[in-house]
Amino acid sequence: MHAPHYTRTAKSLHWLMALMILGLLALGFYMSDLPLSPQKLQYYSWHKWAGVSVFLLVWLRLLWRLTHRPPALPDSMPRHMQWAAHAGHFVLYVLMIAIPLSGWLMSSAKGVPTVWFGVLPIPDLIGKDKALGKSLAELHEALNIGLLVLISGHAAAAFFHHFFHKDDTLRRMLPAR
């Protein structure tokens, strides 16, 4: 049997990662057009630190989800909407793994080391290759644009259920019930 709402841990991970990912998106789009400067390099370091953190948190979140079943979708929800909800969540998880991985590969290919919080060096996944680094940068940006579109759809669907279907879909993930 499914619980009627998400666990406190699931909610905490959801909102923590939502804030981190939105912050990463904002910082990533902002910093990419800045001229080269010490400040831009600092932003890139922060972006990479947070990206590594999201990459680790998504695995923790997946482990939690596999060991704690999420609440069932409302019985009143049509099958095509249930399918869309499951597909959307699946793609969100794929992107939460693929985006930091593409950033890590890009940094490796560009020969720019990642040192998590300035303390823990993260090993390169591939050797230095300038052309591959450029392609991975384009992939990283495209994946992030896709994530932004998916997040917008995710939020719109939650509000649609809340205001039009008047079901519990949104409330069961809110921090306070």
Which tokens sit at 16? 């923590």
Distances (CA, A) of 7 to 12, 58, 107: 9, 16, 36
Residue 24: pLDDT above 70?
A: yes
| Short-list 9, 1, 4, 15, CA closest to 65 | 9
Helix (H) or strand (E) holding 116: strand 114-116
CA–CA separation, 151 vs 92, rounded Å? 8
Residue 173: the pLDDT is 81
- The one-letter amino acid code at 152 reads S
CA–CA separation, 75 vs 61, rounded Å? 25
Residue 161: pLDDT above 90?
A: no
Residue 163: the pLDDT is 86
pLDDT band (50, 70, 90) for residue 127: very high
- Per-residue pLDDT, averaged over 47-53, amounts to 97
Residue 123: pLDDT above 80?
A: yes
Residue 1: pLDDT above 50?
A: no
Helix (H) or strand (E) holding 120: strand 120-122
Percent with pLDDT over 70 in the chain: 98
| Short-list 10, 89, 121, 103, CA closest to 55 | 103
For residue range 81-98, what is the model confidence (pLDDT) as tens digits? 899 999 999 999 999 999
Q: By three-state DSSP, how is residue 115 classified?
A: strand
Average pLDDT across the chain, whole number = 92
Residue 65: pLDDT above 70?
A: yes
Residue spans of beta strands (DSSP E) within 38-122: 114-116, 120-122
pLDDT band (50, 70, 90) for residue 14: very high
Which tokens sit at 91? 């793609």
Residue 170: the pLDDT is 76
